[in-house]
Amino acid sequence: EPEVTQTPSHQVTQMGQEVILRCVPISNHLYFYWYRQILGQKVEFLVSFYNNEISEKSEIFDDQFSVERPDGSNFTLKIRSTKLEDSAMYFCASSGVDEKLFFGSGTQLSVL
C-alpha cells in the first residue's frame, strides 16, 4: 500500500531555532495536511494545502509557521523560532479525490 513518509522521526532543537519537518506525500495526491499532538492532548489540525497554496489554517498556525511544496514531491512545515510549547508529535497527511486520508508516522519534535 502507498505510504506517506516523514523525516526525521525525532528532532531535538533549542528554543528560538528554526526547524523544518519534511514529508513525502503519496505521489498522486493533491491535498496535504499537517496535524500535531502535544503529549496527552488531542490531535489538532494545523493547516491544509492545495494547488500550491494554503486552503485552511487553524489558530495555532501563526506567523511562526509556514508550509511549502518546493519540488512537487516534498511537503515541508517550517517553524521559524521554536518555543517550548511547540514540542509535539507532528503528523503529515495527504489525500486524493476520494478524500481518504493517509498519515505518516510522525516527527517527534522536542524543544529544549
x-marked contacts with another protein along 18-57 as a string, rule CB under 8 A? -------------x-x-x-x--xxxxxx--x-------x-
Q: What cell does 33 get?
A: 495536511
SS3 for 38-54 is: CCCCCEEEEEEEECCEE
Closer to another protein at the Cβ: 7 or 17?
7
Q: What is the rounded distance in angstroms from the CA atom of residue 56 to the CA atom of residue 32?
A: 11
Q: Which of residues 76-105 bind another protein (CB under 8 A)?
A: 91, 93, 95, 99-105
Residue 98's identity, in one-letter code, is: D
Which residues here bind another protein, judged by CB under 8 A? 3-4, 6, 31, 33, 35, 37, 40-45, 48, 56, 91, 93, 95, 99-106
